[in-house]
A and B are shown apart, each in its own frame.
Chain A
């Protein structure tokens, strides 16, 4: 009846790995950003799974705060991407190497 905690951990790890792979192989800054959101979401999923397993509300509180930080991060990050696009006319991270050296 009850979903085992291991299922949540497995799904969360898999989603996190997909997010990491997306960040590593994609070059479009917006898609990289979306993959970061997916990774945050995967962590939230495991927090909710643990909260359910131990019936502790603290896990859900952490999810609440992670979501708030994610919302703030998206607002600032997308504004950064728009500002970079205005200056460089690209969002390909391979061409944005001004700070590389």
Chain B
């Protein structure tokens, strides 16, 4: 199980780096899909079956199709046209800062006591367990979420519609 995690983590990290360094946005999007699939695999290892299914359907499916659709709609022939105006020093300092922050987080977590891991409860993370929590403790946020999605839907239509006439 640990070996599986490490393999998935390695693939996730490599595909994540490839998302950043690819020049062509379509290839970036395809590597991001791979990244989402590996993360879904890790969710399965962490007893989050429902979340893993949602990850594949919503992230790797719906969101990435939307991304690819927009990339092809815009038809960017020269992906980074206008040249890289940013200085190398700026890039390097940004990358170094992000790396140091990540290392600090990991270092802090090795120093604090996270407590012992609890024994896995059968059925934890299944659709039943998630739904039971969602429709009892989290009913109000769940309903508010539907309003949020409606607002986003209307906003997206209006923004994309504005100049069609």
Interface residues of A (CB under 8 A from B): 1-11, 13-22, 24-28, 30-31, 33-35, 37-38, 41, 44-45, 48-49, 51-55, 57-58, 60-61, 63-65, 67-76, 78-83, 85-87, 90-92, 94-95
Structural contact, A28 and B98, CB atoms closer than 8 A: no
Q: Which residue of A lies closest to B96 (CB)?
A: A21
Structural contact, A81 and B70, CB atoms closer than 8 A: yes
Structural contact, A22 and B20, CB atoms closer than 8 A: yes
B76-102 contacts to A (CB < 8 Å): 76, 79-82, 84-86, 90-91, 94-95, 98-99, 101-102
In the complex, how many residue pairs between chain A and chain B have their CB atoms under 8 Å apart? 241
> Known interface pairs A14-B13, A24-B94, A25-B94. Does A80 touch B114 (Cβ–Cβ under 8 Å)?
no
Q: How far is the CA of A83 from the CA of B163 in the complex (A)?
A: 8
Interface residues of B (CB under 8 A from A): 1-2, 5-6, 9, 12-13, 16-17, 19-20, 25, 28-29, 32, 35-36, 39, 42-43, 45-48, 50-51, 54-55, 58-59, 62-63, 66-67, 70-71, 73-74, 76, 79-82, 84-86, 90-91, 94-95, 98-99, 101-103, 105-106, 109-110, 114-115, 117-121, 124-125, 129-130, 133-134, 137-138, 141, 145, 148-149, 151-153, 155-157, 159-160, 162-163
The minimal Cβ–Cβ distance linking A59 to chain B, given in whole angstroms, is 9
The minimal Cβ–Cβ distance linking B158 to chain A, given in whole angstroms, is 8
> Known interface pairs A24-B95, A85-B74. Does A2 touch B102 (Cβ–Cβ under 8 Å)?
no
Q: Which residue of A lies closest to B6 (CB)?
A: A7
The minimal Cβ–Cβ distance linking B74 to chain A, given in whole angstroms, is 5
Structural contact, A28 and B94, CB atoms closer than 8 A: no
Structural contact, A83 and B160, CB atoms closer than 8 A: yes
Q: Which residue of A38, A48, A60, A73 is within 8 Å of B35 (Cβ)?
A: A38
Q: Which residue of B lies closest to A6 (CB)?
A: B109
Residues in chain A near residue B6, CB distance under 8 A: 7
- A to B CB contacts below 8 Å, 8 in the list: A6-B110, A16-B102, A17-B101, A30-B74, A35-B19, A52-B47, A61-B130, A65-B145
Residues in chain A near residue B1, CB distance under 8 A: 1-3
Structural contact, B62 and A71, CB atoms closer than 8 A: yes
Structural contact, A94 and B110, CB atoms closer than 8 A: no
> Known interface pairs A13-B102, A53-B118, A86-B163. Does A74 touch B81 (Cβ–Cβ under 8 Å)?
no
Structural contact, A15 and B16, CB atoms closer than 8 A: yes
